[in-house]
Amino acid sequence: MEKTLPQATDAVNRLIQEFSKLPGVGPKSAQRLTYYMLRASVEQTQALADALLSLKQKTQLCSCCFNITDTDVCQICRNPQRNPALVLIVEQPQDILALEHMGIYKGRYHVLHGAISPTEGVGSGDIRLKELIARLSGGGITEVIIGTNPTVEGETTAMYLKRLITPLGLRITRLARGLPFGTELEYADDVTLSRAIEGRQEF
Amino acid sequence: MTKPRTYQTPAIVIKKTKLGEADRILTFYTPELGKIQGVAKAVRKPKSKLSGHLEMLSYSLVTLARGKNIDTVIGSQTLKPFLAIKNDLDLLSCALYITEMVNQFTPPETEDPQIFNLLAFTLEQLPEAADRELLLRYFELHLLRQAGYRPELEKCVMCRKTLETVTNSFAPSAGGMLCPSCQRLGRHYGYLLSPDGLGVMRFIQGGDWESISVVPVDCSTIAEIERLIRSYIRHLLEKEIKSALWLDSLKLESSQSGKV
């Protein structure tokens, strides 16, 4: 005989279901979040609901660099202090956050929204490559910095980008790949070590 | 007797999928355990000790701890880094195709040292091979044989007669060659295969790479065989090998830029 579960109300079930669709949230976490929201004040709930809605309604992709922005073009592309001749290519908008946190880079960006991944069927047409080439061909850019991840997908994308950009005659550089800060040499892998030696610098 | 809690094996990473915040599920091909999976914790963080030893195509000595559902990777040391492959777009794309093929044609946890050897050997040869396409055909035909899908190239699969030196056809759905009279019956869809093409296919299927690699083969013949093998693979898997499409697009672009 089927066990009858204690019935929660529809509204509660609905929220549990919606929460459990989020990445990394299982049914138990979804339940915990839902019951937390049930106890939260109306203002707090309203603030969350507003934040969620405005995320969809007030954000768009920058027509120049494809970063996520609330105004077109984005703050970075609009900023006259930043060097428009320098473009750093990244895989995801989150990468820009990490780079901006550092605060040293003063050029502009281009977000690909993915990386070429042959085994998952993500090809050159599935990421924002055409837009990049159009932007680079438009003139005013002298150097392209490739900042894709040092994974197989990121490397594939980087090497493909090099092939595409080389005919345009721009300077192409790649973020240095070497030893991460705070780690120990003995654990480094061969690829990292070989690149750390190749890319060594005057001290 | 209970199994030891940890075990060590040489392994090549043939697939990876993201898991949670910073973990990955890795698919390894190993000589003695076949295709196995393991979860590698925190390898997507930059300070991970293991990540460099567990990227796609890494040939490493991995240590795994047995888990309830899935084993956990607790150690890894690169045995062969395949640096030349990782620094070249065409080689890397071929290598990804090879790993995807192995992943598609092998069942989990079934030991097959010969497939492991074929995989490791093909990856090693890739940067050195004078004719990369020939090496890929060698890999495909030998993997198909090892996986139990060796195409019949000596006799007609319907009438069992030895094939004559005429243009016969290759029928993916029949698993091999058809003589012209059986082909006319129209029971299977067949691709025409020239006597030269058939000869080369038999030679690749029967030989080892040392003897095959020294024989010059016309690139149009290789392309003819590639088309047949591709349709055979598509028939067996009932889908495309995704990285093959990427290889096609690279080839197309390089032929176009060559013409300009």
Number of Cβ within 10 Å of residue A7's Cβ equals: 8
What does the alpha-carbon distance between residue A174 and residue A154 come to, in Å, rounded to a whole number? Answer: 11
Q: Which of B20, B55, B249 sits opposite A151 (nearest CB)?
A: B55
What does the alpha-carbon distance between residue A62 and residue A72 come to, in Å, rounded to a whole number? Answer: 5
Confidence category of residue A73, pLDDT binned at 50, 70, 90: confident
Q: Which of B49, B83, B99 sits opposite A190 (nearest CB)?
A: B83
Residue B259 has pLDDT above 60, yes or no: no
Q: What pLDDT shows up at residue A1?
A: 43
Give contacts of A 51-110 with B, CB under 8 A.
Answer: none
Structural domains of chain A ordered from first start: 10-58 (1.10.8.420), 61-202 (3.40.1360.10)
Q: Which of B21, B53, B242 sits opposite A119 (nearest CB)?
A: B242
- Tell me which of A24-28, A79-83, A127-131, B5-9 is least confident: A24-28
What does the alpha-carbon distance between residue A155 and residue A143 come to, in Å, rounded to a whole number? Answer: 19
Q: What pLDDT shows up at residue B239?
A: 92
Read off the pLDDT of residues B205-244 as tens digits, 9 standing for 90 and up: 998 999 999 888 888 999 999 999 999 999 999 999 999 9
Quote the pTM value.
0.87
Find which of A102, A119, A148, A186 to mutate to test the B interface (most B CBs within 10 Å of its CB).
Answer: A119
Q: What pLDDT shows up at residue B74?
A: 94
B91 → chain A, closest CA residue: A156
Interchain contact, A188 vs B52, CB within 8 Å: yes
Q: What pLDDT shows up at residue B197?
A: 92
Interchain contact, B242 vs A189, CB within 8 Å: no
Q: Does B55 contact chain A (CB < 8 Å)?
A: yes
Q: Does B239 contact chain A (CB < 8 Å)?
A: no
Q: Provide DSSP, A76-111.
A: HHH-TTSEEEEEEEESSHHHHHHHHHH----EEEEE
Average of per-residue pLDDT values in chain A: 89
The percent of residues above 70 in pLDDT, for chain B, comes to 98
Residue B260 has pLDDT above 80, yes or no: no
Number of Cβ within 10 Å of residue A64's Cβ equals: 20
Interchain contact, A163 vs B245, CB within 8 Å: no
Confidence category of residue A203, pLDDT binned at 50, 70, 90: confident
The Cα-based distances of A160 to A154, A155, B88 in angstroms read 10, 8, 10
Number of Cβ within 10 Å of residue B254's Cβ equals: 11
Confidence category of residue B255, pLDDT binned at 50, 70, 90: confident
B1-122, what's its fold?
A: OB fold (Dihydrolipoamide Acetyltransferase, E2P) (2.40.50)
Give contacts of A 128-167 with B, CB under 8 A.
Answer: 151-152, 155-156, 159-160, 163
Q: Does A120 contact chain B (CB < 8 Å)?
A: yes
Q: What pLDDT shows up at residue B1?
A: 60
Interchain contact, B49 vs A24, CB within 8 Å: no
Q: What pLDDT shows up at residue A2?
A: 46
Q: Does B47 contact chain A (CB < 8 Å)?
A: yes
Q: What pLDDT shows up at residue A177?
A: 83
What does the alpha-carbon distance between residue A189 and residue B102 come to, in Å, rounded to a whole number? Answer: 25
A119 → chain B, closest CA residue: B243
Read off the pLDDT of residues A74-111 as tens digits, 9 standing for 90 and up: 999 999 999 999 999 999 999 999 999 988 999 999 99
Q: What pLDDT shows up at residue A143?
A: 95
Q: What pLDDT shows up at residue B9?
A: 95
A181 → chain B, closest CA residue: B47
Q: What pLDDT shows up at residue A10?
A: 87
Between vectors from CA B208 to CA B205 and to CA B213, what angle results, nearest 5°? 100
Q: What pLDDT shows up at residue A178?
A: 84
Which one is predicted more confidently, A181 or B157?
Answer: B157
Q: From the CA atom positions of chain A, what is the Rg in Å?
A: 23
How much is the average pLDDT of B132-159? 94
Helices then strands, each counted (H, E), chain B: 9, 8
Q: What pLDDT shows up at residue A5?
A: 52
Average of per-residue pLDDT values in chain B: 91
Q: What pLDDT shows up at residue A80?
A: 92
B129-257, what's its fold?
A: de novo design (two linked rop proteins) (1.20.1440)
Read off the pLDDT of residues A115-165 as tens digits, 9 standing for 90 and up: 999 999 999 889 999 999 999 998 889 999 999 998 999 999 999 999 999
Contact (Cβ atoms closer than 8 angstroms) between residue B160 and residue B248: no
B80 → chain A, closest CA residue: A190
Residue A4 has pLDDT above 80, yes or no: no
Q: What pLDDT shows up at residue A8?
A: 67
How much is the average pLDDT of B116-121? 96
How much is the average pLDDT of B117-128? 95
Interchain contact, A118 vs B97, CB within 8 Å: yes
What does the alpha-carbon distance between residue A108 and residue A84 come to, in Å, rounded to a whole number? Answer: 6
B244 → chain A, closest CA residue: A118
A184 → chain B, closest CA residue: B49
Q: Does B79 contact chain A (CB < 8 Å)?
A: no
Query: Domain segments of chain B: what residues?
Result: 1-122, 129-257
Q: Does A183 contact chain B (CB < 8 Å)?
A: yes
Q: What pLDDT shows up at residue B187?
A: 87
Confidence category of residue B33, pLDDT binned at 50, 70, 90: very high
Beta-carbon contacts of residue A146 (< 8 Å; ≥ 6 apart):
A89, A158, A161, A162, A172, A173, A174, A175
Interchain contact, A152 vs B86, CB within 8 Å: yes
